[in-house]
Chains A and B, each alone.
Chain A
């Protein structure tokens, strides 16, 4: 189980701090696949990365991260080494294109395991079982990344990153560059890995909410560095309480909806600069129901079990 309290991370620039993540408090339960959604620049990747690889220009400001009862020293790059890969794994965006082109897949995995003081030959039987599970031939281990298709690379990356059964897997936009058929296969792998207990909690970072609708148990929506809402997937779609979540969901075209019959509306305006963000709720300027109270930052409160929201109108 992952517990995050008041996590605040800024980017240091010559003009001051960019307030990319402000007082994030949430939990991800064992067996939960949580989708983290939001527009570009909302801080979703910052949040994901700060849990495992918090390095400059990211600056740790405050907050606690507890995984399975142990506090993670996320502010310390050295000490975090012990947790990376064994307890938390991150699949960064474009990871499948960042495989070392001069190494065969098997050798790359061996080097990775050695860096964690483990023996490749001992892990090999399990590795082969997992390759079977995702329908990859064992020959992949003798191949160079260039010999694999995009879907094969992404499946390989997923097998490698979950090989040591981490408690938490953070997957950042892992489906964005894939064709729809492979996209679906990769999503189903995430669910299967959870069902088999290879990973306990999963955070899927994506801008594609329709993917989350298919596989996520819960969805957390971020806006301009602040958490807006977290709720079970169905609740987010049926009974969202934050105006931003509602407008975001309402703006998505669905098969079956055509502009002649139902004209969808976007959200006027654009997100604030995070270098000197305005006080209070950061969605205020674009919000149709904003009032005086919104000059204060609304707390991220649980309004019903598993449903938290940060909006003065929702409590």
Chain B
């Protein structure tokens, strides 16, 4: 349904845009119908940039993003509007997504005016109530209120409900639960699972490995703008192939297993993005060989559906 082909994004930095930072480089992956894919990475890995590129919030530097066959970067006017009818995003900070001066349900009215101007008030109100119920909210409790009168979890559901008002096929969920409290987090996660059951595909962007495991069929591990490993979630988690993924799985605090006793402090890597020569993880990798600093490993299929970019494999 959605495919990325060698997508690269370079930001210009500095006073005259003289410095360049490659946030995402040569990233290719696909999302199928009714699939939840986790995009997992640490800060600076480019995971949010990929979400923004798919939503066309920032232009792509090179490569192609296709949605149902059409090149997303060529869309404009009515075709772009049609795209947004099908692809929507929800972001990390629910409070920043609302204008505090207006009531929270203004976002629904904006969808109405923009996408369904011909729909009557009564029919629209029913549609809004239906969407709110679908995300587990009781309409009388939440309608006609200001953002500060609602909790973070409620606002986040509001935003998902807003997306549901459209004929949405793909939801880009960028860290949507990292600001929520533990007790309400899992409800929003379950909501995503319910949406999938209704036929939606979801790109679930997160830094939290356990959340990715709970919700997704496939996982993509990003490191500094490159895909390190990609495959079915249980394989990536239980039999990681890339040394970076292995380090992640060992270091992440888990509830099912305590850390090993041995102390393995990672070597500090630099702060720059990919440089072009060699593997981006080579400077921190315990298994780096000569090859790793000279040529960048391509993503290769190690077993069915399980891809890794590492010379040691």
**Complex-state Cα separation, A211 to B184, whole angstroms:** 19
Q: Is the CB of A257 within 8 A of B213?
A: yes
Q: Is the CB of A152 within 8 A of B268?
A: yes
The minimal Cβ–Cβ distance linking B94 to chain A, given in whole angstroms, is 13
A14-70 at interface with B (beta carbon < 8 Å): 39-40
Q: Is the CB of A267 within 8 A of B184?
A: yes
Q: Is the CB of B247 within 8 A of A181?
A: yes
For A253, what are the chain B residues with a Cβ–Cβ distance below 8 Å? 186, 189, 210-211, 213-214
Q: Which of A151, A208, A264 has the most CB of B within 10 A?
A: A264
The minimal Cβ–Cβ distance linking B180 to chain A, given in whole angstroms, is 9
Nearest A residue to B196 by beta-carbon distance?
A259
Nearest B residue to A267 by beta-carbon distance?
B183
A245-263 at interface with B (beta carbon < 8 Å): 247-248, 251-259, 263
B294 touches A (CB below 8 Å): no
For B271, what are the chain A residues with a Cβ–Cβ distance below 8 Å? 149
For A211, what are the chain B residues with a Cβ–Cβ distance below 8 Å? 253
Q: Is the CB of B263 within 8 A of A188?
A: yes
B252 touches A (CB below 8 Å): yes
For B248, what are the chain A residues with a Cβ–Cβ distance below 8 Å? 180-181
Q: Is the CB of A179 within 8 A of B265?
A: no
For A208, what are the chain B residues with a Cβ–Cβ distance below 8 Å? 253
Q: Which residues of A contact B (CB under 8 A)?
A: 39-40, 135, 149, 151-152, 179-185, 187-188, 207-211, 213-214, 237, 247-248, 251-259, 263-267, 270
Q: Is the CB of B182 within 8 A of A270?
A: no
For A152, what are the chain B residues with a Cβ–Cβ distance below 8 Å? 268
For A256, what are the chain B residues with a Cβ–Cβ distance below 8 Å? 213, 256
**Complex-state Cα separation, A264 to B43, whole angstroms:** 27
Q: Which residues of B contact A (CB under 8 A)?
A: 42-43, 151, 153, 181-187, 189-190, 193, 209-211, 213-215, 233, 237, 247-248, 251-256, 258-259, 263, 265-266, 268, 271
Nearest B residue to A270 by beta-carbon distance?
B151
**Complex-state Cα separation, A28 to B147, whole angstroms:** 40
Q: Is the CB of A259 within 8 A of B259?
A: no
By secondary structure, the B interface counts as helix
Q: Within the complex, which residue of B258, B266, B268 is in contact with A213, where a contact is CB–CB below 8 Å?
A: B258
- Given A209-B255, A253-B186, A256-B213, 9 new contacts (CB under 8 A): A39-B181, A39-B183, A152-B268, A180-B42, A184-B251, A207-B181, A266-B183, A266-B190, A270-B184
Nearest A residue to B211 by beta-carbon distance?
A253
For A183, what are the chain B residues with a Cβ–Cβ distance below 8 Å? 251, 253
Q: Is the CB of B255 within 8 A of A213?
A: yes
The minimal Cβ–Cβ distance linking B30 to chain A, given in whole angstroms, is 22
For A135, what are the chain B residues with a Cβ–Cβ distance below 8 Å? 265
For A188, what are the chain B residues with a Cβ–Cβ distance below 8 Å? 259, 263
For A179, what are the chain B residues with a Cβ–Cβ distance below 8 Å? 42-43
